[in-house]
């Protein structure tokens, strides 16, 4: 049996990489390895500098994050219409005053803003935002991105790119230079979930499709996806699906999934990310903050994994009640990779529950987290939270392993952390056996 390395006086010496760790050494070693490992952030709403103002950053964007807007409307007597009539700066002032001055910012999202201000040595208790605004206004985006990713311990960010978003599509059409830290994803919600409202955009670009997606529409959509593959070189395709999503079911969306998206993913050797369980716009007056969650019937996922064994599915579910099922399905289908604690799941207490369950059922064969950051500096607190939570969970897992009869070394910890936060994602995002002409994105 591997035994822990003690120095001549029996105390816990500093472990070298191959030494078996004592129970006492485990937490600090795990914390150190998590802190020093650069993570891949597999899902964000951040943009490379080439996208200009589409990419959000700075204090006013941090405060008007839809998580905080939802909380603001709980405390404030202001109405949504009154709030939306304000300028971004006035909205940020209102949220700062209500959630950070008149009340204690103890929610996960509010603590996040405090953590970002502290990370930049900015005041966290001031009544106004002048100093914070002056600081962010003084930053140049490229250098700021580099600094923020360094602070967050993130080496690669995966964007969310919608080929049917007019503002974003215009940038892609002009050509976007590769950025060493940003990867693209082709987001297909408008095609798969709202075809009737968007098919004319494709028709307008010369793709012979119709409202029923009949006839050759499937093949034309495949052509559209292939054209955008050449523009974006995405690392996967993605769609968020409602809690009512069912497969098979005779919908236009499912027909395009089967006839266009899944074949295109196989052809381009890309995973398809399914983010399942959102109830869009349950309170439309709150705009982005108006979405909610519903428990989905994951039979749809079971059917997709079984019917399309050559497709890979990167899956995150929004409902707490679906988390255990997802873990079980991942044990049944190796073409299914669970990732992240999405949106309303991204709270430390729930991240802890989900991650412990996943380690107990999947070992290290899953991707524990993504940031879903919409504002650049959010990666700082979201990944800090994740490292804090994972230190406890991994240390407990190794302590139990030691108790059960096998010790771990620092090398073991490094291998597991690298797998969880980097190589699982890299393996799933890179083409498996790149054909000679497929450009391999370098990480
Ligand atoms: O569908 C998604 O990618 C969601 O993450 C977003 O729509 C959501 O608004 C969000 O920001 C969650 O964190
Ligand atoms: Zn998202």
CA of residue 10 to ligand 2 center, whole Å: 50
Predicted confidence (pLDDT) at residue 146 exceeds the cutoff of 50: yes
Pocket test for ligand 1, best of 343, 381, 382 (most atoms within 8 A of CB): 343
The stretch 1-8 carries a mean pLDDT of 50
Predicted confidence (pLDDT) at residue 288 exceeds the cutoff of 90: yes
Note the pLDDT of residue 16.
80
Is the shortest distance between the CB of 54 and ligand 1 below 6 Å? no
Ramachandran angles phi, psi of 181, nearest 5°: -115, 0
Bigger pLDDT: 178 vs 420 = 420
Note the pLDDT of residue 13.
53
Predicted confidence (pLDDT) at residue 154 exceeds the cutoff of 80: yes
Note the pLDDT of residue 432.
64
Enter the pTM of the model.
Answer: 0.94
Residue 189 CA: nearest ligand 1 atom is 1
pLDDT tens by residue, 56-110: 999 999 999 999 999 999 999 999 999 999 999 999 999 999 999 999 999 999 9
Predicted confidence (pLDDT) at residue 382 exceeds the cutoff of 60: yes
Ligand closest to the CA atom of residue 67: 1
Predicted confidence (pLDDT) at residue 405 exceeds the cutoff of 60: yes
């Amino acid at each position: 049996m591997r035994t822990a390395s003690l120095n001549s006086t029996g105390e816990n010496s500093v472990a070298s990489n191959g030494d078996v760790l004592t129970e006492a050494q485990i937490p600090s070693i795990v914390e150190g390895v998590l802190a020093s490992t650069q993570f891949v952030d597999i899902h964000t709403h951040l943009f490379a500098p080439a996208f200009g103002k589409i990419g959000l950053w700075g204090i006013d964007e941090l405060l008007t994050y839809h998580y905080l807007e939802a909380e603001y409307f709980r405390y404030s007597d202001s109405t949504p219409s009154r709030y939306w009539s304000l300028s971004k700066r006035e909205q940020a002032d209102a949220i700062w005053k209500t959630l950070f001055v008149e009340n204690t910012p103890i929610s996960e999202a509010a603590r996040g803003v405090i953590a970002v201000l502290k990370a930049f040595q900015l005041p966290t208790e001031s009544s106004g935002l002048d100093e914070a605004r002056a600081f962010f206004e003084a930053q140049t985006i490229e250098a700021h991105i580099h600094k923020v990713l360094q602070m967050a311990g993130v080496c690669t960010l995966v964007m969310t790119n919608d080929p049917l978003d007019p503002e974003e599509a215009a940038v892609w059409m002009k050509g976007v230079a590769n950025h060493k830290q940003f990867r693209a994803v082709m987001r297909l919600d408008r095609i798969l979930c709202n075809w009737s409202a968007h098919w004319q955009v494709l028709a307008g670009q010369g793709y012979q499709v119709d409202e029923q997606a009949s006839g050759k529409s499937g093949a034309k959509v495949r052509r559209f996806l292939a054209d955008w593959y050449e523009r974006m070189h995405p690392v996967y395709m993605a769609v968020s699906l409602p809690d009512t999503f069912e497969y098979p079911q005779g919908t236009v969306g499912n027909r395009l999934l089967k006839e266009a998206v899944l074949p295109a993913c196989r052809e381009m050797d890309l995973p398809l990310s399914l983010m399942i369980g959102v109830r869009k716009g349950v309170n439309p007056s709150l705009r982005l903050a108006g979405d909610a969650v519903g428990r989905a019937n994951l039979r749809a996922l079971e059917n997709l994994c079984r019917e399309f064994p050559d497709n890979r599915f990167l899956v995150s579910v929004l409902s707490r009640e679906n988390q255990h099922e997802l873990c079980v399905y991942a044990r049944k289908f190796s073409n299914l990779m669970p990732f992240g604690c999405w949106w309303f799941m991204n709270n430390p207490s729930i991240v802890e529950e989900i991650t412990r369950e996943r380690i107990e059922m999947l070992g290290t064969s899953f991707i524990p987290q993504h940031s879903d950051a919409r504002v650049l500096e959010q990666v700082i607190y979201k990944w800090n939270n994740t490292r804090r939570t994972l230190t406890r969970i991994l240390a407990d897992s190794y302590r139990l392993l030691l108790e059960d009869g096998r010790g771990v070394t620092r090398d073991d910890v490094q291998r597991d952390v690298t797998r969880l936060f980097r190589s699982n994602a890299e393996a799933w995002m890179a083409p498996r056996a790149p054909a000679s002409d497929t450009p391999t994105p370098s990480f």
